[in-house]
Amino acid sequence: MDGFDRLPDSLILQIFDSVSDVKTLIRCRAVSKRFNSLVPQTDSLLLTVDRVISSDSDSDSANDDVSHLLVTFLKSILKSIHDLVSARPDPTRARSQNSPAQILRSFHNVRNLSIELPSGDLRLEKGTVLKWRADFGKTLRSCVILGFRSVVAGGETPVPGDDADFAGGLKVRVVWTISALIAASARHYLLKEVVREQRGLETLVLRDREGEGVVVMEKEGLRECGREDTCDAEEEEEEVEEEGWDRGRSRVPSVRMRMRHVPRMELKGGVWVEGATLVVVRPSLSGDVEDGDLAMGAFGGDVLYGEVVEALLKAKSYLLEMNSF
């Protein structure tokens, strides 16, 4: 027996938790019988996905249907609201071996799971930045959206404009909001099978490498899905009733949106941000939560975004309502 064999299993599992990368851990199983038995017990994982395919979708049909916006997460969201909410996938679907849930089936004790997608879902005009964070249980709990058109460095003169320009128009800001909600609901749909199979999960985070959007499911939301077991059943019933809606995403409930907008703001160091918009979205029947808590929780960790959010929270807000879709 060498020195490595004397290490206790608990220490090796801590090392595996630190490694976290699923692909690396799967390779570790081939090292020895001991590793093969311990790797499935790892409780903190990072799954980096090169190509996202739902377990009930066929990759070829999804690639052929360029108007099916978010089933594979590799298609662009169109700018038309009608196209955003009315696309319908190919009904002929086959089982795939590439879904996150199926990749994770060899792990039996997962508590903390992060999944990273290859890219974001939105395709906006050059110079436009749109970031969002959505919290889910069996349905949407909250979503915070931050958007702006451009950042002008100190010493440069910001381009003049008014509230009817690209970033200032209400129509554009509503499209940003709907686009983010659809992207979030599509990602939540992808997580349903993972939640159903990994019953021990305490935190689940789905993000993309571009840093566009994050879907978070925390312990209470995960328990809600597990307890109700409706992350599939209720959605299927609603999808049958609504023939025109996309089956590749979760249903967004009726929501209240608190929107703030500043056409142009100066940040520290003389940096200018144009068309800054903050939208805090909550289900219509949810309790009151401070906008500041949600917004800073979503973006407070970033110096630039945090400063923009702080400034926007001081601006006048407008309340909008949207029906379920």
- Exposure string of 308-325, with b = 16+ CB inside 10 Å and e = fewer, is bbebbbeeeeeeeebeeb
Q: What is the pLDDT of residue 298?
A: 93
* Closest C-alpha to 225, from 141, 109, 121, 101: 141
What would the two tokens of residue 320 be?
């909008």
pTM, two decimal places: 0.77
Pairwise CA distance, residues 270 & 255, whole Å: 37
Q: Give residue 155's pLDDT.
A: 53
| Confidence (pLDDT) at 5 | 79
Residue 126, C-beta contacts closer than 8 angstroms, at least 6 positions apart = none
Q: d(Cα 210, Cα 117) in Å, to the nearest integer?
A: 9
Residues of the chain with pLDDT under 50: 54-55, 57-96, 161-164, 166-168, 237-245
What pLDDT does residue 228 have?
54
